[in-house]
């Protein structure tokens, strides 16, 4: 015969302080799991949506994987347009975007010298970067910038400091914010975009970092790659944008592995914390458990009731943490070396977080319950 | 008996789940092997010259036979096309004890590569590049030594491209 369901539920209410503290401990553990898994998922999402399969990046062969180190001749876009037939062209405009990309110190009204990512672009940039949308304001003119949704997070400043009309300083020049853009969570969202020629003037550079080309339907990136191989004098390399960000995923693989290791550690520590709490909870109830056995309840039924209590507490803690994570953590901007991204509490994060929570409930309740039930009824009834 | 059924179902699920994905993308092995017969030479062509010498002497549209080692950058092959860069065998690549993970990029002898590199693209009867990966088509890898027969194409900047119709791969 099983113990009634209400017995376990009422037991939780009988010791409100102990129950509250256990709930808090479990909720903290589950919240930590949510934070770490949300971090991993946010990083993965940011890199996976950043690359467009139809966009090819052409940059210096000497810069290896880092386009910030790339320097190519200013005539490269014209040369590529003239030599290649596979790029998209509409109304006589080649979808070829010359860009100068730099990591530089940026000062805002509330932040002195935050490290920002600045991209000098032309009107053709949104033709190639098709997920970029102006959500506020207008395209920048001379000495104006348009900032990504996460640029303030990258700079470590308040979003008000990058409001339209505010000024920022970089490369010894003052720039006025003319608008904001979003890019479906892609890496550009943490960047500041300005006019290419203005940026070249202030940085005293005539070269470019890269050229981004949008492929025409049916065209192959291999054609561009072959052109770069044939023109060895230009020292160019071509890479699909999606492959570029996939290589960054590989680059950040140790970070992701470390983060999953943290999830395992936090979960392990959580199990021990749960065990400790449940040992305390069960230790004070040895007589009660012996009485139940004397009344005729089988050990298995009592064990099940104790596990029920643990799982109920863990489920409540998971629910509490889940609600907090979804309402307060989801979408929170995180600054990172490659820019900034948002914590992502998605289905995977919910599954892992709640799974760990429920596991804590079961694993935490089992050993102390087994220990308590191993004693004989007569001795347990005399326990203090 | 019921337990056995469950074990069988689980085993079947594992076998089905772990099976190799069907290769829907890319040419199959038979297709590549058939194409390979057309472009791989069985005997080494005679009179092959080094890439460096060819860069100095070869004219555009002239028939050439070049010998070179596949390399010149960390990724000498063009993905999805039978094309790659070769470097004159006289240029030494990074020795094993240099600890270079990609010795075919000639990082230890970069200045010599500039004048001793050529691009090879295997072309079909129409003159278009063959759309199979060279590694599969020719069974080559980085630092393989190849002898290519084809037509030279020089530009004003001195770059040399060979539109190859036969490639011989030297045994290592």
The pLDDT value given to residue B21? 44
Cα separation, B120 vs A231, in Å, equals 12
Q: Which residues pair with B65 in a beta bridge?
A: B149
Cα separation, A60 vs A65, in Å, equals 10
The arithmetic mean of pLDDT across residues A41-51, rounded, is 81
Query: Which one of B78, B100, B115 makes the best mutation probe of the A interface by having the most chain A beta carbons within 10 Å?
Result: B78
Cα separation, A321 vs B25, in Å, equals 44
Residue of A nearest to B81 (CA): A222
Closest to A106 (Cα-Cα) out of A165, A194, A172, A159: A172
The arithmetic mean of pLDDT across residues A2-10, rounded, is 78
CB hemisphere CA count around A347 (13 angstroms): 0
CB–CB contact A232 B85 (8 Å): yes
The helix or strand, by DSSP H or E, that contains position B166, with its residue range, turns out to be strand B160-169
Q: Which residues pair with B121 in a beta bridge?
A: B83, B163
| Mean pLDDT score of chain B | 83
CB–CB contact B72 A232 (8 Å): yes
| Mean pLDDT score of chain A | 86
Around Cβ B156, how many Cβ atoms within 10 Å? 6
The arithmetic mean of pLDDT across residues A317-325, rounded, is 93
Assess whether pLDDT exceeds 70 at residue A122.
Answer: yes
The pLDDT value given to residue A384? 57
User: Looking at A25-109, which runs of residues are DSSP E strands?
Assistant: 55-60, 89-90, 93-94, 96-108
Measured on CA atoms in the order A120, A122, A127, A132, is the torsion positive or negative? positive
Assess whether pLDDT exceeds 60 at residue B12.
Answer: no
Cα separation, B19 vs A97, in Å, equals 43
Weakest-pLDDT range from A145-149, A288-292, A312-316, B22-26: B22-26
The arithmetic mean of pLDDT across residues B2-30, rounded, is 51
Higher confidence at residue B36 or residue A285?
Answer: B36
pLDDT band at B91 (very low <50, low <70, confident <90, very high): very high
Instruction: Provide, as residue numbers in chain A, all residues whose Cβ is less than 8 Å from the Cβ of B75.
Output: 237
pLDDT band at B27 (very low <50, low <70, confident <90, very high): low
The arithmetic mean of pLDDT across residues A152-162, rounded, is 88
Instruction: Provide, as residue numbers in chain A, all residues whose Cβ is less than 8 Å from the Cβ of B159.
Output: 230-233
pLDDT band at B159 (very low <50, low <70, confident <90, very high): very high
Q: Which token pair is A168?
A: 């920022």
Assess whether pLDDT exceeds 90 at residue B171.
Answer: no
Around Cβ A323, how many Cβ atoms within 10 Å? 10
Around Cβ B16, how many Cβ atoms within 10 Å? 8
CB–CB contact A232 B129 (8 Å): no
pLDDT digits (tens, 9 = 90+) for A174-207: 999 999 999 888 888 899 999 999 999 999 999 9
CB–CB contact A229 B83 (8 Å): yes
The pLDDT value given to residue B14? 44
Q: Which residues pair with A145 in a beta bridge?
A: A177, A194
Residue A248 phi, psi dihedral angles, 5° rounding: -65, -35
Assess whether pLDDT exceeds 70 at residue B102.
Answer: yes
Assess whether pLDDT exceeds 60 at residue B5.
Answer: no
* DSSP letter assigned to residue B120: E
Percentage above 70 pLDDT, chain A: 98
Cα separation, A54 vs B131, in Å, equals 19
pLDDT digits (tens, 9 = 90+) for B31-48: 888 888 889 998 999 889
CA distance A247 to chain B (A): 14
The arithmetic mean of pLDDT across residues A316-343, rounded, is 86
B150 close contact with A: CB closer than 8 A: no
Q: Which token pair is A320?
A: 């509490």
CB–CB contact B81 A222 (8 Å): yes
CA distances from A81 to A214, B125, B158 (A): 11, 27, 21
The pLDDT value given to residue A61? 86
Nearest to B117 among A220, A226, A232 (CB): A232
CB–CB contact B158 A233 (8 Å): yes
pLDDT band at B3 (very low <50, low <70, confident <90, very high): very low
Cα separation, A255 vs A214, in Å, equals 31
Q: Which token pair is A27?
A: 């909720």
If you search the block for the tokens 């058939």, which residue do you land on? B34
Residue A140 phi, psi dihedral angles, 5° rounding: -70, 140
pLDDT digits (tens, 9 = 90+) for B53-84: 999 888 888 999 999 999 998 889 998 899 99
> What is chain B's length?
172
pLDDT band at A85 (very low <50, low <70, confident <90, very high): confident
Radius of gyration of chain A (CA): 29
Cα separation, A336 vs A325, in Å, equals 20
Cα separation, A277 vs B140, in Å, equals 63
CB–CB contact B119 A226 (8 Å): yes
Q: Following CA atoms B38, B41, B42, B47 in sequence, which dihedral angle do they give, to the nearest 10 degrees? A: 160
List all residues 6 or more positions away from A148 whose beta carbon is below 8 Å from its beta carbon: A180, A181, A182, A183, A188, A189, A190, A191, A192, A193
Q: Which token pair is B127?
A: 């003159």
CB–CB contact B81 A233 (8 Å): no
Closest to B166 (Cα-Cα) out of B41, B81, B64: B41
Weakest-pLDDT range from A47-56, A348-357, B14-23, B102-111: B14-23
pLDDT digits (tens, 9 = 90+) for A333-368: 887 776 778 888 989 999 999 998 888 888 878 887
Contacts with B, A 200-259, CB within 8 Å = 220-222, 225-226, 229-233, 237
Range with the largest mean pLDDT of A49-58, A271-280, B63-72 = B63-72
Q: Which residues pair with B153 in a beta bridge?
A: B161
Q: Which token pair is A23?
A: 């709930």
Assess whether pLDDT exceeds 60 at residue B15.
Answer: no
Residue A169 phi, psi dihedral angles, 5° rounding: -120, 135
The arithmetic mean of pLDDT across residues B90-104, rounded, is 84
The pLDDT value given to residue A29? 86
CA distances from A125 to A18, A121, A149, A177, A244 (A): 59, 6, 17, 18, 18
Around Cβ A303, how many Cβ atoms within 10 Å? 18
How far separated are the first and last CA of chain B, in Å rounded? 58
């Amino acid at each position: 015969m099983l113990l009634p369901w209400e017995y376990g539920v009422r037991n939780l209410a009988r010791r409100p302080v102990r129950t509250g503290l256990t709930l808090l401990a479990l909720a903290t553990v589950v919240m930590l799991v949510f934070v770490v898994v949300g971090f991993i998922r946010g990083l993965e999402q940011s890199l996976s949506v950043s690359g467009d399969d139809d966009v090819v990046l052409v940059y210096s062969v000497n810069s290896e994987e880092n386009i910030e180190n790339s320097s190519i001749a200013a005539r490269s876009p014209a040369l590529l347009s003239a030599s290649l037939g596979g790029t998209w062209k509409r109304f006589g405009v080649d979808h070829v975007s010359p860009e100068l990309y730099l990591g530089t110190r940026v000062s805002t009204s509330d932040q002195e010298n935050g490290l920002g990512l600045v991209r000098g672009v032309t009107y053709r940039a949104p033709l190639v970067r098709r997920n970029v949308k102006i959500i506020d304001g207008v395209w920048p003119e001379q000495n104006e910038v348009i900032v990504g949704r996460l640029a303030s997070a990258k700079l470590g400043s308040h979003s008000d400091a990058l409001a339209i009309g505010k000024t920022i300083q970089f490369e010894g020049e003052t720039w006025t914010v003319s608008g904001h853009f979003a890019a479906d969570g892609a890496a550009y969202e943490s960047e500041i975009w300005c006019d290419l020629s203005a940026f070249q003037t202030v940085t005293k550079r005539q070269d470019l970092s890269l050229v981004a080309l949008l492929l025409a339907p049916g065209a192959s990136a291999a054609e561009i790659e072959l052109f770069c191989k044939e023109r060895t004098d230009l020292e160019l390399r071509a890479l699909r944008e999606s492959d570029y960000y996939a290589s960054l995923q590989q680059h950040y693989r140790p970070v992701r592995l470390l983060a999953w290791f943290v999830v395992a550690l936090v979960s392990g520590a959580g199990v021990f914390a749960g065990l400790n709490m449940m040992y305390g909870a069960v230790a004070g109830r040895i007589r009660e458990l012996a009485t139940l056995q004397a009344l005729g309840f089988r050990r298995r039924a009592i064990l099940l009731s104790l596990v029920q209590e643990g799982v109920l507490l863990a489920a409540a803690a998971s629910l509490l943490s889940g609600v907090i994570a979804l309402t307060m953590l989801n979408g929170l901007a995180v600054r990172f070396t490659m820019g900034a991204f948002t914590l992502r509490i998605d289905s995977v994060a919910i599954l892992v977080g709640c799974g760990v929570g429920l596991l804590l409930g079961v694993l935490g309740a089992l050993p102390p319950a087994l220990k308590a039930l191993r004693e004989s009824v007569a001795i347990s009834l005399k326990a203090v | 008996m019921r337990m056995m059924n469950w074990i069988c179902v689980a085993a079947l699920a594992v076998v089905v789940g772990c099976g190799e994905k069907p290769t829907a993308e890319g040419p199959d092995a038979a297709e590549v092997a058939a194409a390979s017969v057309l472009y791989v030479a069985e005997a080494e062509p005679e009179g092959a010259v080094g890439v460096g010498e060819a860069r100095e002497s070869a004219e555009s549209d002239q028939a050439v036979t070049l010998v070179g080692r596949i390399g010149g950058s960390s990724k000498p092959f063009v993905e999805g096309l039978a094309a790659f860069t070769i470097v004159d065998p006289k240029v030494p690549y990074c020795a094993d004890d240099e600890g270079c993970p990609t010795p075919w990029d000639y990082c230890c002898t970069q200045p010599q590569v500039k004048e001793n590199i050529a691009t090879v693209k295997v072309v079909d009867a129409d003159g278009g590049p063959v759309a199979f990966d060279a590694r599969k088509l020719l069974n080559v890898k980085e630092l393989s030594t190849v002898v290519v027969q084809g037509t030279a194409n020089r530009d004003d900047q001195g770059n040399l491209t060979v539109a190859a119709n036969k490639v011989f791969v030297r045994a290592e």
